[in-house]
Amino acid sequence: MQIHTLVQLLVILGERSDSESAVEELDKVIRVYGFDFYGLLRHPKQGDNPWSVTMASRWPDGWPHVYAAKKYVLVDPTVRYLAHAQRPFRWRDSMSAFRNDPHQRRMEQMMVDAFGHGLEDGYVFPIYGRNGILGSLSLGGRPVELSPTEISLFEAIARKAFWRLLDLQGEAIALETVPITDTQLTRREMEILHYLAEGMTSMEISKHLKISNHTVDWYMNGLQDKLKAKNRQQAVALAFRYGLIT
């Protein structure tokens, strides 16, 4: 373990006065830890070009083109899992979470293509704010095993780098003052909201989650109350606006 390197980076990021040098320091430590590739991203909203939200990155040659051409952003399990995750996770964990998903084959094809470009496995570190999920740091390449302490430090680095770059670009205040929601959704509510956004009916959701149709409707009514929505369609629209789902 090289924990001192991670701790030092947290200090250095706060001292850098320009984005370029801050990214250089981040890139250097990521390489030291054996990760060949990474992406520090703002969380994409509906319709966003996935590369337009990139703050700093190093990806395999050709991978951005393949990702965009095959529209993998629509099924990327690591992006979709961010709607559920409350803590850092492995790429492979996101695949396990969607093993019964209607888009499972497309997800598997994406992971096969990623593997072919050297993206064998990795970690995702969610970045949260008052608005919910704001961004993430994804580290990948050859498999690397991080200790719990290292995972916690990388999580802190993800937040520090994200906000420091926004601050240096003069965008931190604007992001913090975006209209917010104090809505707190449970994991089950997030699951149902996600499937509702995909156009699934109450019956389809009940079969997928192996719960009764009545229970699904009960959760949906609760979602509408929490989001102050008049109907299910408005609940989905508000969830997109608040960044609860993508």
What is the homologous superfamily of the domain 3-176 according to CATH? Transcription factor LuxR-like, autoinducer-binding domain (3.30.450.80)
Domain residue spans in the chain? 3-176, 187-241
Distance of CA 29 to the CA centre of its chain: 21
Q: Is the pLDDT of residue 171 over 80?
A: no
Distance of CA 8 to the CA centre of its chain: 25
CB 139, CB 150: distance < 8 Å: no
Instruction: Quote the pLDDT of residue 182.
Output: 53
The whole-angstrom separation of Cα 5 and Cα 28 is 10
The whole-angstrom separation of Cα 77 and Cα 79 is 5
pLDDT digits (tens, 9 = 90+) for 111-147: 999 999 999 999 999 988 766 678 899 999 999 999 9
Give the CA distances from residue 202 to residues 98, 187, 191, 210, 215, in Å, rounded to whole numbers and listed in that order: 19, 17, 12, 12, 9
pTM of the model: 0.71
> What are 121's strand-pairing partners?
141
The whole-angstrom separation of Cα 99 and Cα 192 is 16
pLDDT digits (tens, 9 = 90+) for 11-38: 999 898 899 999 999 999 999 999 999 9
Tokens of 104: 């499972």
CB 25, CB 157: distance < 8 Å: no
- Strands 132-141 vs 37-42: parallel, antiparallel or unpaired: antiparallel
CATH of 187-241, one of 1.10.10.10, 3.40.190.10, 3.40.50.300, 3.40.640.10: 1.10.10.10
